[in-house]
Structure 1
Amino acid sequence: MEDEGIARRYLYFDFPLDWNLKLNFSVLPERPTPCIINRQKEWMRLLDLEGETVPVIVKSAGNIENPRLLVEIPKEMEKNWKRIERVILDIHGLRDVSDLYEFMEKDSVLRSIKEKLYGFGGAGLMAVSVYEGVVKSIIQQQISLRVAENITANIVERYGNRVRFLGNTI
């Protein structure tokens, strides 16, 4: 399906995906961070693929239980389809998390979280390049490290393994 030099491809998934929920986690959706999410829940971003700038628009074309995403790129960029697809999958964490869901079912608190975030899937990458990652990690240090470390410690203490080694519980 092509018109006006636009190539449209679908990504199909065999696991639950709530595209709107995933996009709702954007702090500033309508500002380039570097992606933009418009009111129609279309994810838009420019990708730099070996010096070529590729505009990409991704939108839901299915539902949570039968998800598919419509990806629109310039027709002349179809040669980069596999790389574009990989970036979309990686940056959004689009992978099957059924093992995680099974684990979460065993605990009432985690089950509640699973129910609220059902279809979110995995966490995605924060950046598509090393440079972008370094810049974002520096900027995002404005968040309290103490809070982040407390949350990490709580999770590790509750769900992590413990081993006694040289008189210490690790």
Structure 2
Amino acid sequence: MIAYTVVELLTRLSYAFKDSRSPVIAALCAVGANLILGTVLARPLGHRGLALSLALATTLEMLVLAVLLRKHIAIRYPLVIIGLARALPALAVITLAALQFAPLLDRVTDPAYGRSFVQFLAFVYTLFALGASYLILALVCRQSDTVVIVRRLQAALPSPARNVLAVILGR
């Protein structure tokens, strides 16, 4: 999912530099890779292989766009790699949390079980739990954007709620 987001950002950045060739080149590389990977992975993995091929092709598109954008901006790859390395423990923890909720999410979204209000509540609970896991993990890792947002939220709250949040966050 990260690659999809980054491709959108890099494509818009290319257009901002009046560069319409780079997104086209990257997209052609992605389409070619998707065709090859889809053909190779569809037989052994079925529809999952097609999803995997699309994800890999989009990742390739992201990398091609990043390389082509180097002529416009100086990307400090060591800093990018350090940032990614810092995110890996958080990614591992959130992946484990997602795997814990996968069976429940699979059951409540399976049409074979019908639709009920309890299934909807279980779905909302799962999404809330994963979001809360991410928020807690981001705060523990002192992810700067999350800390800034929580501080602004804390400043906007009335005094009793602000004090409760300060106790929870240990500040």
Q: TM-score, normalised by structure 2?
A: 0.31
Q: TM-score, normalised by structure 1?
A: 0.32
Q: Which structure's relative contact order is higher, taking Cα pairs within 8 Å and 6+ residues apart?
A: 1
Which structure shows the higher helix fraction? 2
